[in-house]
Structure 1
Amino acid sequence: MLTRTEIDRVVSAALVEDAPWGDVTGDALIPAEATATADLVAREPGVLSGIDVFTAAFRLTDPATTVTAHLADGDRFESGDLLASVSGPARAVLAAERVGLNFVQRMSGIATLTARYVAEVAGTGVRIVDTRKTTPGLRAFEKHAVRCGGGHNHRFSLSDAAMAKDNHLGVLTAQGLSVTEALRQARQRLPHTVHLEVEVDRLDQIEPVLDAGIDTIMLDNFSIDDLRSGVALVAGRAIVEASGGVSLDTVRAIAATGVDVISVGALTHGARALDLGLDLRIGLPGDLRIGLPGDR
């Protein structure tokens, strides 16, 4: 869950990064008494994510600034739709607009891409999940965006669940233990509440891993035929996750093999920022109007 505490922590750091000693341009050019209103408008279709983060950028810059959301996270929109409205002191609105836009564009891009993957596997019962391939410091934001797009979250961090990959197994078996025995010993050291997942990259690894009583088996970079064979070998004894080589072109075929979960790193590391713009009007004598494009 994306909490207000986490939002304020990250957005505050972003605002300091963007204006460590204040906005010298706004302070020099914009009268202190000027007010502004602005509309967050979609330049292309998508799925909204990050409206609370967008709002925080303005609230933390100046509490006198208000943001009215016209859509909620997870809502779909079309090009030209009004997503939110902003009003407040002009200096504050101008100082916060880039940080607010950066977050909502990035998060909406992730949500939109996730929704495309989810649509591709509709009717299969397969879950589309993210990975830890997130932007450092922004994991909570990006994983929230995945949920907004209809996807699910894998483990949030190394502390959430145990996942043994090939390097882990290599270290264990170097001690002279079989994979099965090494995993059984690891299971005994884990709290009973911790989920244990193991990655395999060959069909002949499946049985020794399952014999250890693991919870999820990840079939990594398997061909479509091997995925089908792997699902048959597992035969319901563990959750089956497919990973590696997943794209919008391949995800439907992967889902059709009978796997339970498909993890897609591209949801976060491959998403582009969505094109959203902030159209701003400043209340000054002469009704000066300024438009701020979303890609500024």
Structure 2
Amino acid sequence: MITQEQFQAELQIIIENAIREDVGDGDHSSLACIPSLVTGRAKLLVKDQGIIAGVDFAKMIFQYVDQSLKVETFINDGTPVKYGDIVFHVSGSSQSILKAERLVLNSMQRMSAIATKTKSFVDLLEGTTTKVLDTRKTTPGIRAIEKWAVKIGGGENHRFALYDMIMLKDNHIDFAGGIPQAIQKTKEYLKATNRDLKIIVEARNLDEVTQILTAGGVYRILLDNFDYETTKDAVKLIGDQCLTESSGNINEKTIRNYAECGVNYISSGALTHSIYNLDLSLKAF
């Protein structure tokens, strides 16, 4: 996985690019009618129900925009919230608060929605040993905060990107000429480039599971679009030779059934690509 330093760098890039995109050569609405020395306060108001996420990221945004802004936090990331809750107060330059407002809201609304959905999946697996994973099906440019939100909601991150884990999916396998060839070429590549990356291989049926096990050296097998019975058979076949992951059209109605098949992980793109933003407002007071 990526290092903490790499992750922090990604967050900084997101903030810098978002402010560039939104502010350009100036927030002329504020510059036009609010004197530069005017100070004020604003509160982050919850107008929905769910899991709050992005509080710490909001602090990073405020600090980037204006280091003199002060944030007083009342509710931390990962906490259930309801309509009317106040998450934090921010005080300082009114121009600076308004400059940061939209990025703070856009980020926190989406992160809170992702954390809320993740927590609902995690709760459905209570009592099992199966863990919830995200995917690379994230919004381009803001992957770091979406994956951060998954962790806040109680899930775990899959690989961050193409560079921190090997994942051989159906197209890799077909282009390489088959499972044995894809795995062997991957092992040779890692040795030649002196890289220590875990290998995950996707299986489309039990025959492919057997081929993967025969090739060996695999960290996890992804059981793609398997039904319940075939998943149980695959888990039994794999045993403790490597970890298992179920994926493919898994939702709130099916996730528990897949967990009870005995898989170690269940991955879901829906955690990040099929959510509705939590309603939040930043209001002057």
Taking structure 2 as the reference length, the TM-score comes to 0.91
Whole-angstrom CA distance in 2 between matches of 1:50 and 1:99: 11
Question: For residue 183 of structure 1, what is the aligned residue in structure 2?
Answer: 183
Matches within 5 A, 1:1-296: 1=4, 4-173=8-177, 179-180=179-180, 182-191=182-191, 193-213=196-216, 214-281=218-285
Displacement of 1:7 after TM fit? 2.9
Whole-angstrom CA distance in 1 between matches of 2:203 and 2:111: 32
Residues 70, 83 of structure 1: 8 Å contact kept: yes
Whole-angstrom CA distance in 2 between matches of 1:7 and 1:67: 19
Residues 48, 76 of structure 1: 8 Å contact kept: yes
Q: Name the amino acid aligned to 2:17.
A: A
Displacement of 1:4 after TM fit? 4.6
Residues 172, 182 of structure 2: 8 Å contact kept: no
SS in 2 for 1:259: coil
Quick one: structure 1 residues 106 and 182, their matched pair in 2 at CA, closer, same or farther if it must change by over 3 Å? Answer: closer
Q: Name the amino acid aligned to 2:137.
A: K
Displacement of 1:280 after TM fit? 0.8
Whole-angstrom CA distance in 2 between matches of 1:233 and 1:6: 40
Displacement of 1:19 after TM fit? 1.4
Q: Name the amino acid aligned to 1:38.
A: A
Whole-angstrom CA distance in 2 between matches of 1:19 and 1:215: 45
* Identity within the alignment, %: 38
Q: Relative to total residues, which structure has the larger helix share, 1 or 2?
A: 2
Displacement of 1:114 after TM fit? 0.5
SS in 1 for 2:163: coil
SS in 1 for 2:261: coil
SS in 1 for 2:215: coil
- Residues 82-129 of structure 1, C-alpha deviation per residue, up to 9 Å, x if partnerless? 111111111221221111111111111111110000001111110100
Displacement of 1:182 after TM fit? 4.5
Displacement of 1:181 after TM fit? 5.1
Unaligned runs of 5+ in 2: none
After TM superposition, the runs of 4+ consecutive aligned structure 1 residues lying more than 6 A away are: none
Which moved further from structure 2: 260-269 or 271-280? 271-280
Larger radius of gyration: 1
RMSD: 1.8
Taking structure 1 as the reference length, the TM-score comes to 0.88
Displacement of 1:74 after TM fit? 1.8
Q: Name the amino acid aligned to 2:274.
A: G
Residues 181, 212 of structure 1: 8 Å contact kept: no
Whole-angstrom CA distance in 2 between matches of 1:182 and 1:55: 45
Which moved further from structure 2: 124-133 or 75-84? 75-84
Whole-angstrom CA distance in 1 between matches of 2:8 and 2:214: 44
